[in-house]
Amino acid sequence: MDKKRYDVVAFDLDGTLSDPAKGLVEGFVYAFRKMGVDFGERDSLRRFIGPPLIETWMPEFGFSFEEAERAVLLFREYYNIYGWWDNKIYPGIRELLSELKERGKRIVLTTSKPEDTALDILELFDIRKYFDFVGGASSHKTRERKSEVIEYVLSEIGVGDSPEERAACILVGDRVYDAHGAAECGIDSIGVLWGHGSEEEIAESGFTYMARNAAAVLEIVC
């Protein structure tokens, strides 16, 4: 059986391309203290890295939508000034992106972050040049779930709804939300084991493949 060919490679950002844990956690602490929320151990806040925050914080803390929205605004009050640059790129990512580009792949970003913040982070690491399109959450709250961001990006780069077109696309991510978003959009996915999802989460999330390092991602895609 011939190896499957992928032409479009979509990447998640946090926990996949870079480790933003320190800056994000400080932003979460800032928001929860302002909200008067008992958030427990600081390290436990890493579980919020990756998924849409409003969607996650409402059931977690019993927030109303308005309260969750305020908490996210408070988080961004800190993160957009201090937190976004407190970040580091994972080993092998620059080389992976460069090689994918050399092999003619279309590389896109699909993140739950606002697009302007995502662009700042890509520029911070000098990897914006590898991406054909950068898609993030909408400020109008019409594009927050992972599947919505993926659909937006695929539409913007001209990928249609047919099974043949979707079969040529794959998402690289590190959390259950990435796996589910990809499945909802009818594309394959790679769960990376260096991010913020545990190996157990990756194994149980329905990813098409798992990868322990950037070289393994290249092997799967190419």
Average pLDDT over residues 203-207: 95
Residue 2: the pLDDT is 63
Residue 55: the pLDDT is 86
Which residues lie below 8 Å from residue 114, measured CB to CB, with a gap of 6+? 76, 136, 137, 139
Q: What angle separates helix 146-156 from helix 176-184, to the nearest 10 degrees?
A: 50
Residue 5: the pLDDT is 84
Average pLDDT over residues 194-218: 95
Residue 112: the pLDDT is 86
Cα(46)–Cα(20) distance, rounded to whole angstroms?
10
70-89 pLDDT, tens digit per residue, is 999 999 999 888 988 889 99
Cα(17)–Cα(220) distance, rounded to whole angstroms?
17
Beta bridge partners of 163: none
- Mean pLDDT (the chain) is 93
Q: Delimit the domains of the chain by residue range.
A: 8-19+88-221, 21-83
Residue 114: the pLDDT is 86
Residue 174 exposed, middle or buried by CB count within 10 Å (0-12, 13-18, 19+): buried
Q: CA angle 212-214-220, nearest 5°?
A: 80
Domain at 21-83, CATH homologous superfamily: Putative phosphatase; domain 2 (1.10.150.240)
Are the C-beta atoms of residues 109 and 11 closer than 8 Å to each other? yes
Same fold, 8-19+88-221 and 21-83: no
Average pLDDT over residues 110-116: 90
165-188 pLDDT, tens digit per residue, is 999 999 999 999 999 999 999 999
Are the C-beta atoms of residues 68 and 12 closer than 8 Å to each other? no
Residue 142: the pLDDT is 66
Q: DSSP string spanning 178-201?
A: HHHHHHHTT-EEEEETTSSS-HHH
8-56 pLDDT, tens digit per residue, is 999 999 999 999 899 999 999 999 999 999 998 998 998 898 777 888 9
Domain at 8-19+88-221, CATH homologous superfamily: HAD superfamily/HAD-like (3.40.50.1000)
pLDDT band per the 50, 70, 90 thresholds, residue 140: low
